[in-house]
Chain A
Amino acid sequence: MTIKRLCVIAVLLSNLAALGPSRPSSALAADGGLVLVVGKSSPISNVSKAELNRIFSGDSVKIDGEPVVPIALATSRPERAAFDQAVLGLSPDEASKYWIDRRIRGQGNPPKSAPTPEVMAKVVGSFPSAMGYLPASALTAGLKPVTIDGKAYTDRGYLLAH
């Protein structure tokens, strides 16, 4: 009887799993993936994946002695979901929970966010300490792409590619 109940629960859970949150949109693939950027005047040219994770997970990080201020895209953007998955390893729901938990612990807020890649480009281009990301198609002259673990966004294996 108990085994039968466990089977029923397992079937229910597997059905629920099918209704779970979907992974980030694959629409990014057609756009050439995301590019990590800083302003043209920023001295930063490379970050490690570990540094990137810390910068966008709320830790206060300096690179080459310079503090880095992360700018994220709005949570409604598919690029945000793709970035959080690639860098933080978090789905949209998990990312929401992550930031809620940090606030309850008194550990601070998520990064400021830009509503569109165009705003992101203008903000990051205007502030040397800012670091953000956007689709490769939204790169502007005021931005400098940043390599991740030595890989450029045009390289195979770039963390934010697709």
Chain B
Amino acid sequence: MSMPRRPLPLRPRRRFFAVALAFALAAPSIAARAQDAPPAPAAPELAPAAAPAPTTSLADAAPADLDALGVQDESRSAGADEHPLQLYGFADMTYYLPLFSSDSYLAANVPSQQSFVMGNFNLYIAKQISSRLRSLGEVRFSYLPNGQATGNGYQSTQADDPAAFFRPTRWGGIVIERLHIEYDLLSNLTLRAGSFLTPYGIWNVDHGSPTIISIRAPYIIGEGLFPERQTGLELIGHHYFSEFALEYHLTLSNGRGPIDETRDLDSNKAVGGRLLLEWRHDADIKLGASYYRGTYTNATPTTFDVMTGHASANITERYLEQDVAADLSVDFRHFVFRGEFLRSDHRYDDAYRGSGPTFTPDNTRWGTYGIFGYHLPAGFLPYAVLQYYRFPDTPGNQYNPKIKAIAGGADYRLHPNVVLKAEYTYAKLADSPLAIIANTPFKAFEFQISWVF
């Protein structure tokens, strides 16, 4: 059994080039920063209540000036559009440079080619319907399913484009990240209905690449120990006690399932909740705890047998899921910390332990991560990430029982709306009984630009 080749380290000239490039990218923005005022956050500016300066003609008058004079625009009353629809979003692109051998087992599991990667393109569609009603939708445009690895190649969505004389084009998909309506029952109690991001931890709430600190999501987040989103109802409340705030979330949903956005295959609703205690004084400290309990059921579609006169569906998999999480967020002067602990238990119904070649045993997964950062002047935020993940004790994971990973990097705020990130990750499948796995760490550099629009 041969050891995998060690990747070549970056040569000194390349390093110098990288530092010089980073500085060259940063310098113009810093100069611009010194001259430009930061952009106004997108808050509606109030119209002057005083009579506006006279304009030469009615056509030249700004709508705000007309409002101030008491002139009404009836086109706006169609649909009672006091608050306009808001469109905004974020996007990111990453350069991925793997530093492991393309001849190793890793290459069969993660990309081994250096690549530019188009990541998120998320669009928010928000509307204040009335003083108590709000709607928020977030969709992610994706190239998927194009490029999905299949048994003997990559899935292609290529099709002939009738708008371009049937030249080939590739289509992509849309992920509905969330879509919900909110109603303020009280000033401190809101009911949300629809598809919402599960209120747990930090990462799932921060969510957007310009908002989160590191490039790569911690492994436990990607593993989905909690459902990323749920369909149902969420009650959100808060109370303030001087410098302390208590926020709580209660959820009632279809729970996790193969088609949970539209159907709860066991009619058994999942419940969950989150408590968040915040102390805002010299430091901003948030301590949270989250819980989820629901039954996962997968089944065949229901069929009706005319001979017996009965309808039936075959359950293929069913387990009770209980998840707990704790998180801590600290902002103290220039210091930043984000940390989460997650644990997920699956207890199977003995009759429905999956339809694979082996039955799935009851299992527990857990993991944790911590991100430490320090704000330097001029928008730099160097950070380090430590993480640990314990895979479930299932037959497929006998060679990869746990992951230990460290990462280091830096964010640079080129503009309030634009973030540059550079990150190095070193991860190891520790304690694997196979030396070729245990001794072949994942190593990669990534550079990302993410922006808000």
Contact = CB atoms under 8 A, between A and B. Distances in A.
Given A60-B238, A62-B187, A100-B416, A16 B211 contact: no
B33 A21 contact: yes
Interface residues of B, number: 55
Interface residues of A, number: 51
A111 B43 contact: yes
Contact of A112 (B46, B49, B136, B187): B46
Contacts of B39: 75, 96
A158 to B, nearest CB: 19
Given A20-B377, A53-B280, A112 B207 contact: no
Interface string A1-23: 00001001100110011011110
A19 B34 contact: yes
B41 A100 contact: yes
Contact of B40 (A17, A67, A76): A76
A29 interface: no
Given A19-B34, A61-B240, A119-B48, A106 B178 contact: yes
Contact of B30 (A19, A67, A126): A19
Contacts of B38: 21, 75, 92-93, 95-96
Given A100-B452, A104-B208, A114 B41 contact: no
A11 to B, nearest CB: 11
Interface in B4-37: 15, 19, 23, 26, 30-31, 33-34, 37
A100 B210 contact: yes
Contact of B41 (A96, A104, A122, A126): A96
A106 B138 contact: yes
A20 B23 CA distance: 15
Contact of B136 (A13, A22, A51, A106): A106
A32 interface: no
Interface majority SS (helix, strand, loop, mixed), chain B: mixed
A123 interface: yes
A40 B92 CA distance: 49
Given A59-B238, A112-B44, A104 B245 contact: no
Contacts of A67: 187
- Most B Cβ at <10 Å: residue of A13, A99, A106, A119: A106
Contact of A104 (B19, B23, B207): B207
Interface string B187-225: 110000000010000000111101100000000000000
A54 B31 contact: no
B187 A126 contact: no
B223 to A, nearest CB: 22
A119 B64 CA distance: 12
B388 interface: no
Contact of B49 (A54, A74, A119): A119
A21 B395 CA distance: 56
B280 A50 contact: yes
B115 interface: no
Given A96-B416, A119-B50, A103 B88 contact: yes
A113 B45 contact: yes
Determine which residue in A5, A54, A97, A126 has the highest number of CB atoms from chain B within 10 A of its CB, and name it: A97
A122 B378 contact: no
Contact of A101 (B206, B376, B377): B206
Contacts of B413: 93, 97
B42 interface: yes
A115 B45 contact: yes
Contacts of B240: 50-51, 54, 59, 61
Interface centre among A59, A62, A126, by most B CB within 10 Å? Answer: A59
B46 A93 contact: no
Contact of B416 (A22, A93, A110): A93
A131 interface: no
Interface of B: 15, 19, 23, 26, 30-31, 33-34, 37-50, 86, 88, 90, 124, 136, 138, 178, 184, 187-188, 197, 205-208, 210-211, 238, 240, 242-243, 245, 280-281, 376-380, 413, 416-417, 452
Interface of A: 5, 8-9, 12-13, 16-17, 19-22, 48, 50-51, 53-54, 59-62, 67, 71-72, 74-76, 92-93, 95-97, 99-101, 103-106, 109-116, 118-119, 122-123, 126
